[in-house]
Every structure is written in C-alpha cells, then in structure tokens.
C-alpha cells in the first residue's frame, strides 16, 4: 500500500516534484536582479544599438545585412549567458553552502529535485529572453524572423543546454558561492566574446573565427546566424554544441559535491 501511495504521488499537481518546481518558480520570480539581467538586459542592449541609424543600414561587407541583423542572435545568446553563468551558479552553490540540499536529503525527496528545478527555470528564462529579443528586433527594427525556424529552434535549444551544463560544471567545481561567482564571471566574459557581443563572429578574421567556432557560443552564434538567414545550420556547429553539452554535463554530474 505504501508503494502504491508513493508511486501515485510522484506525478500530478500535488506530487513532491511539482511542489518543488512551484516553490522554486516563486523564488525565482523574487530575484529582480536575475530577472533584469536575463530577460530585460539583452533586449535593452539590442534596442540601444538599434537606435544608432548606421546600424540599421544594410552593409555589403556583412553580406547585405545590417549590424542589427547580426545582433539579434547575439542578444539571444547574451540572455543565455546571463542565466547560465551569472545568475545560476551562485544559486546552486548557495543551496549547497547553506545546507538547503542537506536539509532536503533528510526527507523522502532527493535534493537533486531542487537543482533540476533551478536549472530548468534558468533554461526557461533564457528561452523567454530569446523570444523577447526576436520580437523586439522584428517589431522595432524590422529584423526578419528566422528563415529556417526548425534549425533555429534546434540551435537555440542546444545552446541553452550547453550554457546550463557549463553553469552546472562551475557549481560542481566551486566550493563556495563567492568562488562560483568569480569563476562564473570569467567564463561569462569569455563566452560573451565568443558569442560575438563585442565583435560579431561573422566579421572575425579567419583563424580567430575557426577557433571561436570550436567554442560552444562561437558555434551557437554561427548556427543561429545561418538559420536566421534561412539556411539549415552546419552540422559541424550543432555537433560542437552537442559534444560540449555532453562533456560538461557528465563532468558536472561526476564532480558535484552534495556537501
């Protein structure tokens, strides 16, 4: 009877996992800083750039596209980087450091439920941020919606998975919240560069671009750009992201300390 009851309760609206997700969603919405940097900041940056007239003009050097066309995928990646590398690592390490995970391991629910909920919420916020940037790009600056929506969505989801795996690896490697914030910031700057926040990947010189394309966000930037222009993204770019995600995910799972 006990088994039947507990099985029945692992699914449905009142299951422990649903309760954890509901509670963590509420807590996530109580972090105005994270919400701003993940959801609003990339679109704000896009808007500021879009207000510069020359950035809206088509440029022959960019293959007949405008700077703002190239910046929509950058804004999309920026939201993910904010979520996975800036916002998430301190939350997860804080849960460990404060003994919140430990308290939960003394209940019938495994503490991994808390981590999974937080990772899922940061992933969902990244996707929300991406949709917002694309909508504003379309409505305010006439940036075309992705010509190859399926390819775009695939590249987007792979990039989200990759950044979450990287954020989780940072948590696994850092003993303290401070350390994870510091490591997260370094990774964040590197990822911002490879995602093309300062110089769009598409305009980088040959060798540098090759190197950047081997990083998760360099590959993501290229794949999103290709799908935005209506082509199926290169399998090589998708493969780079998939390999990074698998490797980082395995590292995070193996190295994570529960205490």
Partner 1 sequence: MPIIEVDGVRKAYAGRVAVDGVGFSVEEGEIFGILGPNGAGKTTTVECVEGLRIPDAGTVRVAGLDPATDRDRVTLLLGAQLQESELQPKLTVGEALRLYSAFYPHPADWRSLAERLGLDSHLDRRFAKLSGGQKQRLFIALALIGNPRVVVLDELTTGLDPRARRDTWQLIEEIRDSGVTVLLVTHFMEEAQRLCDRVAVIDKGRLVALDTPAGLIDRTAGSTVISFTPSEPLPAAELAGLPGAASVSVAESDGRVLVHGTDDTANAVISLLARHRVTARHLRVLETSLDDAFLDLTEQDART
List residues near partner 1 by CB under 8 A: 2, 5-6, 9, 14-16, 18-20, 23, 26-27, 30-31, 95, 98-100, 102-103, 105-109
Place of tokens 């989200």: 160
Q: How far is CA 233 from CA 101, 205, 248, in A?
A: 40, 20, 22
Give me the least distance between CB of 254 and partner 1, in Å please: 20
The DSSP letter of residue 202 is G
CB of 35 to partner 1, least distance (A): 13
Q: Which two tokens stand for residue 72?
A: 């929509």
Rg (CA), the chain: 20
From the CB of 100, what's the least distance to partner 1, in Å? 6
Pick the closest to residue 242 from 134, 155, 158, 164 (CA basis): 158
Task: Using alpha carbons only, give the angle 151, 157, 158 rounded to the nearest 5 degrees.
Answer: 90
Cβ 250 to partner 1, closest distance in Å?
A: 25
Nearer to partner 1, 2 or 54 (CB): 2
Q: Which is nearer to partner 1, 15 or 202 (CB)?
A: 15
| SS3 at position 218 | helix
Report in angstroms how near the CB of residue 132 gets to partner 1 at its nearest. 24
Q: How far apart are CA 105 and CA 73, in angstroms?
A: 40
Q: By C-beta, is 29 or 208 nearer to partner 1? A: 29
- In the complex with partner 1, the residue whose CB is nearer, 103 or 138, is 103
Q: Is 8 exposed, middle or buried (0-12, 13-18, 19+ CB in 10 A)?
A: exposed
Is residue 230 a contact partner of residue 148, using CB atoms and an 8 Å limit? Answer: yes
Nearer to partner 1, 61 or 106 (CB): 106
Secondary structure element (H or E) that encloses residue 184, with its range? helix 177-195
| Least Å from the CB of residue 22 to partner 1 | 8
Residue 95 or 188 having the CB closest to partner 1: 95
């Amino acid at each position: 009877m006990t088994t039947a009851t507990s099985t029945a309760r692992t699914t449905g609206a009142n299951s422990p996992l649903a309760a954890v997700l509901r509670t963590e969603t509420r807590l996530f919405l109580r972090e105005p800083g994270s919400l701003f940097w993940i959801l609003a900041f990339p679109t704000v940056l896009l808007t500021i750039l879009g207000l510069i007239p020359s950035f809206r003009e088509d440029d022959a050097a960019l293959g007949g596209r405008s700077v703002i066309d190239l910046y929509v995928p950058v804004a999309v990646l920026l939201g993910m980087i904010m979520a996975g590398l800036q916002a998430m690592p301190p939350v997860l390490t804080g849960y460990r450091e404060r003994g919140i995970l430990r308290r939960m391991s003394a209940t019938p629910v495994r503490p991994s439920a808390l981590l999974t909920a937080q990772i899922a919420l940061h992933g969902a916020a990244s996707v929300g941020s991406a949709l917002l940037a694309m909508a504003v790009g379309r409505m305010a600056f006439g940036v075309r919606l992705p010509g190859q929506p399926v390819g775009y969505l695939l590249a987007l989801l792979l990039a989200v998975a990759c950044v979450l795996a990287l954020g989780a690896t940072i948590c696994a490697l850092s003993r303290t919240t401070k350390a994870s914030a510091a490591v997260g910031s370094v990774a964040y700057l590197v990822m911002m560069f490879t995602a093309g926040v300062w110089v769009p990947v598409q305009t980088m010189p040959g060798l540098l671009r090759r190197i950047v394309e081997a990083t998760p966000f360099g590959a993501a930037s290229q794949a999103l750009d290709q799908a935005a222009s209506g082509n199926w993204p290169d399998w090589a770019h998708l493969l780079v992201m998939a390999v990074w995600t698998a490797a980082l995910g395995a590292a995070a799972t193996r190295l994570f300390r529960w205490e």
